[in-house]
Amino acid sequence: MTKTKSWVLTEPAKMALQEFDIPEVGSTDILVKVKVTCICGSDPHWYHNDDNCAKYPLILGHEFAGIVEKIGDEAASRYGVKVGDKITVEPYLACGHCEYCATGHYQLCTAKMCYGISITCDSAPYINGAYGEYILVRSGSKVFKVDDDVSFEEAAMSSVIGNGYRLVVDKAQLKPNQSALVLGPGALGLCTVIAAKEAGVYPLIVVGVGDADDNRLALAKEFGADYTIRLDKEDIVARVSEITKGKMCDAVLECSGAVPAYKTAFSCIKTLGTIVLLGITGGRDVPILIDQIVKKELQIKGSIGQPNDVDYAMKTINKKKYPIAKMITTKFPMSKADEAIEFFMSKKDPSCIRVALYND
Ligand SMILES: [Zn+2]
Ligand SMILES: [Zn+2]
């Protein structure tokens, strides 16, 4: 076979299947046969180009797992994988030499190259996203082997669990038996629960709002959350105070991007606590309580991506301790990726957490 098909966005909200030549596989490259791609919560943003940051033509898809179809000699020795192995890949294609790459912050690489997000498909090797049959992974990537008995859908969640590790370990720097409040029980919040449990956080409290979050909060409990709170049914400040014996939380991990969540974050944080922000508000104004930051000596940290954290995530997934696949609530064949992203964006199914696309 010399041809392959991928879904190409040529302009906002216009996505169609296109055929490409399968590229030559160089010494540092891996040709991956994509098995499962999850639709990330950020994909609609690139699909609609709502802040004019998207570059087209673009093949979406950065949360994926697949099989090594072909691999160059140098890539095989770098990553320790061979033809037929199951792998997953970090979204980043780091330049390796800019100021940020050189200091280990390659999520902020000035070249801004991420598979399925920011590498256009108008020049070779074209297949730069995982909404398709194949993707070419190149030098500057991080590749992780997936154990044979782990499913592709679980492995495709590796970057999201990596996000969780970044919040809990790198940013909040939580120690065992320190408390945390996770705001928003979507895929990011749930993956943060997994990372927090692995880090020994206690008590771990997860907050949702509305009936639609009931199944997500139930899954948070399955992942090990100690308490769940429905914001619309309970007095959150009173409840967190009761759970933490009046001390409030060492960290608040904001995973929702909902404007009211920021007020909740400031109401539930302990003196000297850390608020980590991952949710994106879409440019909306959010009132910030500066006096509280000063008087409580709070730390407020932003977090983007999962540099250096997918390794921890993949080790966690390979342990098979958590029912990670339960986050994938809806499945579509890759041939219906256009319908799948429309379904995801329509919010028709309030219980939907992640939608996954499958190749045979
Ligand atoms: Zn993602
Ligand atoms: Zn760089």
pLDDT in tens, 280-335: 888 889 988 899 999 999 999 999 999 999 999 999 999 999 999 999 999 999 99
State whether 124 and 210 are in the same domain. no
State whether 298 and 324 are in the same domain. no
Q: Starting from the CA of residue 310, give the closest ligand.
A: 1
Q: Starting from the CA of residue 111, give the closest ligand.
A: 2
115 found inside a domain: yes
Give the sign of the dihedral formed by CA 128, CA 158, CA 334, CA 69: positive
- Which residues does 286 contact at the CB level (< 8 Å), separation at least 6? 259, 262
94 found inside a domain: yes
Q: How far is the CA of 297 from the centre of ligand 1 (A)?
A: 32
Q: How far is the CA of 180 from the centre of ligand 1 (A)?
A: 23
CATH assignment of the domain containing 122: 3.90.180.10
Q: How far is the CA of 112 from the centre of ligand 2 (A)?
A: 8
State whether 210 and 253 are in the same domain. yes
Residue 241, helix vs strand vs coil: helix
How many CA atoms are closer than 13 Å to the CA of 359, on its beta-carbon side?
21
pLDDT at 220: 98
Average confidence (pLDDT) over 15-44: 97
Q: Please list the residues that pair with 3 across neighbouring strands.
A: 21
The two structure tokens encoding residue 219: 């899954």
- The pLDDT tens digits for 177-213 are 999 999 999 999 999 999 999 999 999 999 999 999 9
Backbone angle region of 84, left / alpha / beta, with phi > 0 → left and psi within -120 to 50 → alpha: left
45 found inside a domain: yes
Single-letter amino acid, residue 312: Y
* C-beta separation of 199 from 177 below 8 A: no
315 found inside a domain: no
Per-residue pLDDT at 19 exceeds 90:
yes
CATH assignment of the domain containing 182: 3.40.50.720
Q: Which residues are within 5 Å of ligand 2 (an ion), measured at CB?
A: 95, 98, 101, 109
* C-beta separation of 58 from 115 below 8 A: no
Q: How far is the CA of 167 from the centre of ligand 1 (A)?
A: 15
pLDDT at 197: 98
State whether 195 and 124 are in the same domain. no
Q: How far is the CA of 164 from the centre of ligand 1 (A)?
A: 12
Q: How far is the CA of 297 from the centre of ligand 2 (A)?
A: 33
Q: Starting from the CA of residue 163, give the closest ligand.
A: 1
326 found inside a domain: yes
pLDDT at 243: 98
Residues 142, 30: Cα–Cα separation, whole Å: 11
Q: How far is the CA of 182 from the centre of ligand 1 (A)?
A: 18
Q: How far is the CA of 251 from the centre of ligand 2 (A)?
A: 30
310 found inside a domain: no
**Which structural domain range is residue 204 located in?**
161-302
pLDDT at 272: 98
Give the sign of the dihedral formed by CA 238, CA 239, CA 240, CA 244: positive
Per-residue pLDDT at 133 exceeds 90:
yes
pLDDT at 313: 97
Per-residue pLDDT at 154 exceeds 80:
yes
Single-letter amino acid, residue 290: I
Residue whose C-alpha is closest to residue 193's, from 215, 164, 155, 166: 164
* C-beta separation of 88 from 310 below 8 A: yes
State whether 172 and 141 are in the same domain. no
Residues 153, 358: Cα–Cα separation, whole Å: 9
Q: How far is the CA of 262 from the centre of ligand 2 (A)?
A: 32
pLDDT at 14: 97
Q: How far is the CA of 293 from the centre of ligand 1 (A)?
A: 30
- Which residues does 190 contact at the CB level (< 8 Å), separation at least 6? 216, 219, 220, 223, 327, 353
- Which residues does 319 contact at the CB level (< 8 Å), separation at least 6? none
Average confidence (pLDDT) over 57-77: 98
Q: Starting from the CA of residue 104, give the closest ligand.
A: 2
Q: Is residue 125 very low, low, confident or very high in pLDDT (cuts 50, 70, 90)? A: very high
Q: How far is the CA of 95 from the centre of ligand 2 (A)?
A: 4
Structural domain tally of the chain?
2
The ipTM estimated for the assembled molecules is 0.97
State whether 282 and 177 are in the same domain. yes
State whether 281 and 345 are in the same domain. no
Per-residue pLDDT at 1 exceeds 80:
no
State whether 49 and 94 are in the same domain. yes
Give the sign of the dihedral formed by CA 75, CA 77, CA 78, CA 82: positive
- The pLDDT tens digits for 231-284 are 999 999 999 999 999 999 999 999 999 999 999 999 999 999 999 999 888 888
Average confidence (pLDDT) over 77-94: 97
Q: How far is the CA of 264 from the centre of ligand 1 (A)?
A: 25
Residue whose C-alpha is closest to residue 134's, from 90, 68, 81, 72: 68
State whether 264 and 291 are in the same domain. yes
State whether 175 and 82 are in the same domain. no
- The pLDDT tens digits for 102-112 are 999 999 999 99
Residue 325, helix vs strand vs coil: helix
Say if residue 230 is exposed, middle or buried (CB neighbours under 10 Å; 0-12, 13-18, 19+): middle
State whether 133 and 91 are in the same domain. yes
Percent share of the chain, pLDDT over 70: 100
Q: Starting from the CA of residue 115, give the closest ligand.
A: 1
Average confidence (pLDDT) over 219-237: 97
Residue whose C-alpha is closest to residue 131's, from 26, 243, 4, 268: 4
State whether 228 and 137 are in the same domain. no
The two structure tokens encoding residue 21: 């030549």
Q: How is residue 253 annotated by DSSP?
A: E
